[in-house]
């Protein structure tokens, strides 16, 4: 009998220790509002503007969990093509594109990467003010770091809402200029923006 109650107490203490060590946060991503929320219990403790997947590369909705964290991550699919002098030839390239002679493909950096579904993850990146990624959820640098430090592998991530169409992007900032530029005058791709726009944001407390 003593052995039985000893076993019960052991597993009860183990369950309590596990519950206490479990990460208390969860992440909710609202595609319609282009905002990510870090939530603890019933309270939003931090929020961040985002740039999610554009049409043709939409961020998938659903309930997920963080399955990988990597401080210095690089895309295995997307990037840019540069010439021998480092000048951008194709700003929005992928690994299947033909690379001209003398040029090379450079994968897109995705620092503070938090993968939650397939190739999609949250990471620091350029926010143009509207959905513009290939499916990932970009955040300003400082807030990506804060989310990265708060979540663990296994932290729940819920993605919901409807991605705004082009006509609604103005809600999140000016739209990109679509001038008749030849390919060799393309700007650097948004994932390589030298000075990303940083949006004002602050922790939100109850």
Q: What is the pLDDT of residues 23-64, one digit of tens each?
A: 899 999 999 999 999 999 999 999 999 999 989 889 999 999
CA–CA gap between residue 27 and residue 29 (Å, rounded): 7
pTM of the model: 0.67
Which two tokens mark 109?
Answer: 């950096």
DSSP state of 192: G
pLDDT tens for 77-121 read 677 788 888 888 787 777 777 888 888 888 788 899 999 998 899
Q: Residue 201's pLDDT is what?
A: 37
pLDDT digits (tens, 9 = 90+) for 111-166: 999 999 988 999 999 899 999 888 999 999 999 999 999 999 999 999 999 998 75
Domain boundaries defined on the chain: 24-192
The pLDDT of residue 116 is 96
d(CA 73, CA 38): 22
Q: Which of 203, 99, 199, 115 is nearest to 157 (CA)?
A: 115
CB atoms under 10 Å from CB of 123, counted, come to 26
Give 24-192's CATH code, choosing from 3.30.10.20, 3.30.70.260, 3.90.380.10, 2.40.440.10.
Answer: 2.40.440.10
């Amino acid at each position: 009998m003593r052995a039985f109650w000893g076993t019960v107490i052991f597993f009860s203490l183990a369950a309590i220790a596990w519950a206490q060590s479990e990460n208390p946060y969860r992440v909710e991503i609202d595609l319609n509002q282009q905002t990510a929320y870090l939530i603890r219990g019933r309270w939003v403790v931090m929020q961040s503007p985002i740039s999610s997947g554009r049409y043709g590369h939409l961020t998938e909705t659903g309930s997920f969990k963080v399955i990988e964290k990597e401080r210095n991550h690089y895309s295995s699919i997307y990037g840019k093509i540069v010439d021998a002098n480092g000048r951008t030839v194709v700003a929005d390239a992928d690994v299947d594109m033909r690379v001209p002679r003398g040029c090379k493909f450079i994968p897109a950096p995705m620092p503070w990467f938090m993968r939650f579904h397939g190739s999609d993850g949250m990471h620091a990146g350029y926010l143009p003010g509207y959905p513009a990624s290939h499916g990932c959820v970009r955040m300003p640098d400082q807030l990506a770091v804060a989310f990265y430090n708060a979540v663990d592998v296994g932290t729940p991530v819920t993605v919901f809402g409807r991605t705004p169409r082009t006509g609604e992007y103005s809600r999140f900032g000016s739209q990109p200029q679509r001038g008749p530029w030849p390919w060799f005058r393309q700007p650097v791709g948004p994932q390589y923006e030298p000075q990303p726009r940083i949006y004002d944001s602050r922790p939100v407390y109850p």
